[in-house]
Structure 1
Amino acid sequence: MLAPETSAYRNAMARLGAAVNIVTTGTLDNPIGFTASAVCSVTDSPPTVLVCLNRTSRARSAFCEGGPLCVNVLTSSHQDLSNHFASPNTMAERFATGHWHTLATGAPVLQEAAASFDCKISQIVEVGTHSVIFGVVQALVSHDNAEGLVYFNRRYHSLPCHQG
């Protein structure tokens, strides 16, 4: 059996809905960040997440230095911010929007995020066109009433927050 063509694979993957995130590293003085939907939990003991980053990304070298990583889960009001971080803007231009602070590692944390996972990078595995970055969570913040933002079929969709 032949492997699917790249375009067929990408079209099928567009049907896999995913949370939209801004992933950061560096410091508030020298922030680096990009928009990512390829993020997931690995384990809760120790709490670990993974992030996939294209090897051609200009942000990649900063993450490969092995420092901090923060996954900022975007809310339904962050479509413009997601696009802003996915654009060719400079890092200074990207971080001029939003309110940024730090937690344990010093990586930029978006104050308005639905949740933020502040991590120390534990390993990076190269797979095809991407680097798979594993981060062990050192601190986290969660806003229980935030509405979610997902990317499905090449469009943004809001997810309501239902309590109870």
Structure 2
Amino acid sequence: MQSLSPRVRALGAAGVCLLIAVVAGLAVDGRLDRHWVLRGMTVFLAVCCAALLLADQTRRLRQIVTAVGLAMFGVVIPVTQTVWSKPPEIAFALQVATDAKAAAGKASSSSVSIADVKAAAEARGGAIGSFPTEKSPQVRGADAYPIIVRAKRDQGRPWACVSFTGLDAKVRPC
């Protein structure tokens, strides 16, 4: 690795960071809110660290700091965002969205109704709307999009929000 010039190493590091960011972004289900703004900021910071590595080769401490920044913004954050993007409640909501879309398709409907989402959630053992409690007895998120989807009928949080535009679903934490 010492035979490569610092310029080639910095450009290679920036290229690897961009590749990791694109692969990590595409590895997430398209119906999820992919946090593109946060992903874009981390790629930008990784490229800035690579540019610092390229520009300043004088101080060893600065090289170490930029290398750590490059590793964090170019590898660690994009990979962990991808791994953590689908907790159990989000996975359940994605399954409900798939089932509701299939039910709407079977009924030859051009859009997914709230009844389709409710039936899909109940078929999987879940429910829609917030869980009524003494503190908050009114059920929210059960009659209009975005709909709150709970993985367990008798449990409140954690839950996810599902909304449909026609047959296209969007799932996000709420």
Q: Identify the TM-score tier after normalising by the shorter chain.
A: under 0.3
Q: What's the TM-score once normalised by structure 2's chain length?
A: 0.22
Who wins on radius of gyration, i.e. which is larger?
2
Structure showing the higher strand proportion among its residues: 1
Q: What's the TM-score once normalised by structure 1's chain length?
A: 0.23
Q: Which has the higher contact order (CA 8 A, sep 6+)?
A: 1
Structure showing the higher helix proportion among its residues: 2
